[in-house]
């Protein structure tokens, strides 16, 4: 019997990634141990590829590290020391994580849900579970705090621009602590941050990566252990955003609903009256703002994930009339206290809303749209009156956002895309008497007129803003929001119908321009590729012989 020698299973030289980072490579084929641990492609080719955005980010981080060391700011902070996980029980280890709960904590947790009144009267408190961070999670986060800083820096440079709900200032303060220990929920948040900054390297199948599987397993472990906190909810939101951005269904729909349940358990939906599971009062304005933003992010994803199909109820209620919008994004990032605008106003205001506040306004209108589409109880005149009011409100907010997008496209584009997409979703069924469920009332005629007249201009607005976005986008698509894909898709679908009905070449050209925008985004978020596939299916079934498409 022949046996392979050990040398035959190894490459002749270190992989490209290890050579660039000057790390020791075990040369194992097909992927070295370090690349497997970091969930990245392993390349043993002879030539070194041109540096990409990630390479420059690493180089900038190295330069910052050297400057900091020269200035002595991190002389005693353990910057290169191995990271430590924290467990409240010295006897807890990774092999005992699955049984970390005890009878007492199980009773208290059950009491909260079985009878919240008795729970409150008895002044019971839910203990924080003891849980050691598993070695595979620690390995995925890196070997030192420098690796964590690299993940966090890339997250705030890209994801934070369109989904700013994790406090940048509080994260900086936490990571600057020389005695930093990685608690279980905090390490889960860092792992989810690393997951969402990853771009697909090998097509749609690559998004179900080992890092994605590890993050889902680790979240399940914390949930099994009864570990519910703001960090676990924030990690769940990032997992849901990753799944939405890469069209991982039904997981995206289910995870988004799970985020809502976690928020309800923490009392984020009503911070004054709702029972709060293992929750403490915010110790600072920045923390209270972070809690508010986390719940708004939950509502945003809950509404977005329901745009493609009517009939499913939302997992989160509409905001209360006394709720306020998030504060100015830049001031919050700096930790500076500032005012917040109310969601509902009775008179005009001169205060300019920040990007995420605009996104939250659009989120509220999306909720009204979905509830209107799902409604089967309203009388016909009331239903059409609500549709008319919603249509005009969406138009008004869109006009405000058009000026904002000119100033800062990447930060305001999500809000504008949500408004434009909502206008088309609203106009489509109300433009036809066969689908608007009307009784031939005056309100029905008025809404039908608005819907028909709004289809083409709204599609043209989406085309224009997509061209602005493509022209102003940096060389990398890392910071693009996946939540703009729906608006591009419904606009392309509208142009396909217009090209079929009119036979005009410019309608076909607009259709293909929007497809190209989706193709560009597909390099970052594979959901865009699925939308392109749906356009192809629609062409095959509805417009098979149209040369313009």
Do residues 311 and 346 both lie within one domain? no
Tell me how many helices (H) and strands (E) the chain has: 21, 0
Q: Mark the ranges of the chain whose per-residue pLDDT is less than 50.
A: 1-8, 68-69, 71-79, 87-96, 98-101, 346-348
Find out whether 277 and 124 touch, Cβ atoms under 8 Å: no
Question: Would residue 327 count as lying in a domain?
Answer: no
Single out the residue of 490, 540, 529, 527 nearest to residue 511, CA to CA: 490
What backbone phi and psi angles, to 5 degrees, belong to 521? -65, -30
Do residues 312 and 345 both lie within one domain? no
Structurally, the chain folds into a number of domains equal to: 3
CATH code at position 36: 4.10.240.10
For residue range 26-68, what is the model confidence (pLDDT) as tens digits? 888 888 888 887 777 888 887 655 665 555 655 655 565 555 4
Tokens coding 170: 């509080």
Question: Would residue 74 count as lying in a domain?
Answer: no
Decide which of 302, 317, 332 is a domain's last residue.
Answer: 317
The whole-angstrom separation of Cα 168 and Cα 330 is 10
The pLDDT assigned to 64 comes to 52
Do residues 87 and 44 both lie within one domain? no
Question: Would residue 381 count as lying in a domain?
Answer: yes
The whole-angstrom separation of Cα 281 and Cα 60 is 38
Taken as a whole, the chain contains a residue count of 549
The pLDDT assigned to 34 comes to 82
The number of beta carbons lying within 10 Å of the beta carbon of residue 43 is 14
The whole-angstrom separation of Cα 420 and Cα 416 is 6
End-to-end Cα, the chain, rounded Å: 61
Do residues 210 and 304 both lie within one domain? yes
Do residues 262 and 129 both lie within one domain? yes
Question: Would residue 56 count as lying in a domain?
Answer: no
Q: What is the Rg, in whole angstroms, of the alpha carbon atoms belonging to the chain?
A: 25
Do residues 34 and 89 both lie within one domain? no
Q: Which domain holds residue 25?
A: 1-49
Question: Would residue 399 count as lying in a domain?
Answer: yes
The whole-angstrom separation of Cα 138 and Cα 146 is 13
Do residues 362 and 457 both lie within one domain? yes
Question: Would residue 452 count as lying in a domain?
Answer: yes
For residue range 291-311, what is the model confidence (pLDDT) as tens digits? 999 999 999 999 999 999 888
Instruction: Match 């509404």 to its residue by tokens.
Output: 303
What are the CB-based long-range contacts (under 8 Å, 24+) for 67-72?
none
The pLDDT assigned to 493 comes to 95
Do residues 365 and 231 both lie within one domain? no
Do residues 45 and 180 both lie within one domain? no
Do residues 85 and 41 both lie within one domain? no
Question: Would residue 72 count as lying in a domain?
Answer: no
Instruction: Match 């349940």 to its residue by tokens.
Output: 261
Integer angstrom CA distances of residue 107 from 240, 278, 280, 359 = 30, 14, 20, 41
Question: Would residue 332 count as lying in a domain?
Answer: no
Tokens coding 105: 């904590």
Single out the residue of 465, 504, 500 nearest to residue 481, CA to CA: 465
Our CA dihedral for 68, 70, 72, 77, rounded to 10 degrees, sits at 50
Do residues 188 and 254 both lie within one domain? yes
Our CA dihedral for 233, 180, 135, 189, rounded to 10 degrees, sits at 20
Do residues 354 and 416 both lie within one domain? yes
């Amino acid at each position: 019997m022949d046996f392979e020698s050990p040398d035959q299973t190894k490459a002749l030289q270190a992989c490209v990634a290890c050579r660039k980072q000057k790390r020791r490579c075990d040369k194992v084929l097909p992927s070295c141990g370090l690349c497997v641990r970091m969930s990245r492609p392993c390349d043993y080719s002879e030539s070194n590829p041109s540096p990409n955005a990630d390479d420059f980010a690493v180089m900038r981080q190295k330069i910052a590290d050297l400057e900091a060391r020269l200035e002595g700011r991190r002389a005693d902070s353990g910057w290169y020391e191995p990271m430590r996980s924290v467990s409240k029980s010295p006897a807890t280890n990774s092999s005992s994580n699955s049984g970390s709960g005890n009878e007492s904590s199980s009773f208290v947790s059950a009491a909260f849900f079985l009878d919240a009144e008795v729970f409150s009267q008895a002044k019971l408190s839910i203990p924080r579970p003891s849980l050691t961070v598993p070695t595979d999670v620690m390995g995925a986060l890196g070997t030192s705090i420098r690796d964590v800083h690299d993940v966090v820096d890339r997250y705030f440079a890209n994801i934070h621009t369109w989904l700013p709900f994790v406090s940048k200032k509080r994260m900086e303060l936490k990571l600057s602590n020389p005695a930093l220990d990685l608690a279980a929920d905090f390490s889960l948040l860092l792992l989810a941050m690393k997951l969402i900054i990853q771009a697909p390297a090998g097509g749609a199948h690559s998004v179900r990566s080992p890092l994605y599987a590890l993050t889902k397993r680790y979240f399940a472990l914390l949930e099994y252990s009864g570990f519910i906190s703001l960090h676990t909810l924030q990690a769940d939101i990032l997992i849901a955003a990753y799944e939405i951005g890469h069209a991982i269904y039904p997981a995206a729909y289910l995870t988004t609903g799970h985020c809502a349940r976690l928020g309800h358990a923490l009392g984020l939906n009503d911070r004054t009256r709702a029972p709060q599971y293992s929750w403490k009062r915010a110790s600072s304005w920045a923390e209270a703002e972070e809690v508010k933003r986390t719940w708004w992010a939950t509502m945003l994803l809950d509404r977005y994930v329901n745009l493609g199909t009517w009939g499913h109820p939302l997992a989160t209620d509409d905001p209360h009339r006394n709720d306020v919008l998030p504060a100015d994004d830049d001031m919050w990032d700096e930790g500076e206290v500032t005012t917040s605008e109310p969601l509902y106003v009775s008179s005009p205001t001169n205060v300019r809303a920040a990007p995420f506040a605009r996104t939250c306004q659009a989120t509220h209108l999306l909720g009204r749209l979905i509830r209107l589409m799902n409604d089967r109880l309203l009388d016909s005149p009331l239903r059409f009156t609500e549709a008319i009011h919603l249509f005009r409100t969406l138009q008004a907010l869109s006009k405000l956002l058009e000026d904002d997008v000119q100033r800062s496209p990447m930060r305001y584009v999500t809000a504008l895309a949500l408004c434009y997409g909502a206008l088309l979703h609203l106009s489509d069924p109300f433009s036809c008497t066969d689908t608007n469920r009307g009784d031939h009332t005056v309100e029905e005629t008025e809404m039908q007129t608005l819907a028909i007249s709004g289809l083409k201009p709204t599609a043209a607005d989406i085309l224009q803003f997509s061209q602005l976005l493509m022209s102003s986008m940096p060389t990398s698509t890392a910071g693009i929001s996946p939540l703009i894909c729906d608006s591009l898709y419904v606009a392309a679908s509208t142009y396909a119908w217009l090209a079929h009905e009119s036979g005009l070449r410019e309608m076909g050209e607009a259709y293909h321009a929007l497809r190209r925008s989706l193709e560009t985004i597909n390099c970052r978020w594979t959901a865009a590729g699925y939308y392109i596939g749906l356009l192809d299916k629609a062409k095959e079934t509805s417009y098979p012989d149209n040369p313009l498409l």
